Structure 1
Amino acid sequence: MFQSLLGILTGDPGSPHLWHLFMADFVIHWHPDDICLNGTPTNQLAHADNILTTSTGSSGFQCHLNNSQRWSDDNGCETSVPKCIYQIHGPRQKPSENRVFRLNGEMISRVEKACYLSVWIQTGMKFIWREQYQVKAKKARRAANVIRGLNRFVGNLTAWDAHTLYMARVDPYLIAGGEICLDVHAKSLKLLEDVQCMFLRRMLGVRTRSMCAVLFSDTGIWPIKYRRVYLALKYLCYLLA
């Protein structure tokens, strides 16, 4: 949301702690429309200079925007309004009910799909993570096809080499966002499962209609749906610790 005027200091990837110190006093004030998690108002999420704010009402959201702009002005920052967007989740609204939100006097755009910290969120449908699965499945398939094409340049890959490349280049896309995006939509999960099974079949040199159980027992790789559940539970235990 913010583009700092201290680009030389805060834009250096080698010293991220300096930016964390600079943003330490950025706090969006509580509003009655804030979302509460276990009784605690939660209205902001920050990762470096990427700020996300939430509210259950339009007045609360505009109040958060005003607070953000006030902090930006007081700390020598310039707001990059073209990069600022918002989404509305919940029942569909009539065109006449659409609210206009402003930041630094300029109107910010409303979008149906948005990516925050590599996680895609989509409005207008029951499963808000649908775009996340589609994007990551597409990238995983592209990486898998590149690995399969290496045979033309380096000869036949051994199963061990293919396994190593799978865990390094394909698996990260398949598990991306698994701690947040729980697999409650079977069709979206199948997009990831199809990519995994396709790669493992090519790795073992078996037919496209072979049993899936053999793919995992011979490679020691977890089925992606169980691996994602494990990561989600592991993250939950970390939060509760």
Structure 2
Amino acid sequence: MKVIGLNLDIIWKNKKSNFQLIEEQLNNQEADIFLLPEMFSTGFCMDASEVSDRNEESLEFLKKISKERKSAFCGSAPVEQGGNFYNRMFFVQPDSSVIFYDKRHLFSFSGEDKVYSPGKERVIVEYKGIRFLLQVCYDLRFPVFARNNNDYDAILYVANWPEKRVGAWEHLLKARAIENLSYVFGLNRIGTDGNDLFYKESSHCFFADGKEISQKNGNIVSAELNIEELKDFRNHFQFLNDRDDFSIQI
């Protein structure tokens, strides 16, 4: 399975321009899954009442390009539902079916927890024989929530993780891959946002042994996920069998 992530310099609070930019930068790329950054349509913005989707603009865009390209698309956007705001990660398939995950761990350092509501479910989606755990940015710092209970094969992280803390991002991505014997694809944005925070190119995909397998070409980050190779690795190194039993209370 081929996964492509788009290193996107998100245009601040401008959905229409970001939709156009995404289509232009994807160009003629082909993949089974395309990843877009956290809040790909607006940037990581706390002005939720201003930028949140009320008419599913971001979701409808994902449905459109997913159908056109016959590929799944995954990324997060701010949405309003039932009087609450959510940082919602969508996984959209070419038949327009949608699975979503609401970001569980809200970034209190930026006040995200004062604006958005936390998700209440851990979400795994199976696509073309591979099981994906959906995660957003700050979730990366909480390994218990991402612990593999033999229920997924890969983690997809989408993020707005600034350069000043990018070392933690890169180390933790690799750690999640090693400790969970899973593929981990972390897609970060690039450029400078409306808060003057700079984001360097730092998107990566790691195999279960911590080896980086992603290839980079301009704004495109790609990786091939081989489920049989992963099964062979897990059968040889059966570390997950020795994990601690626990339950997560949300």
TM-score, L = length of structure 2: 0.27
User: Larger relative contact order (C-alpha < 8 A, sep ≥ 6)?
Assistant: 2
Larger radius of gyration: 1
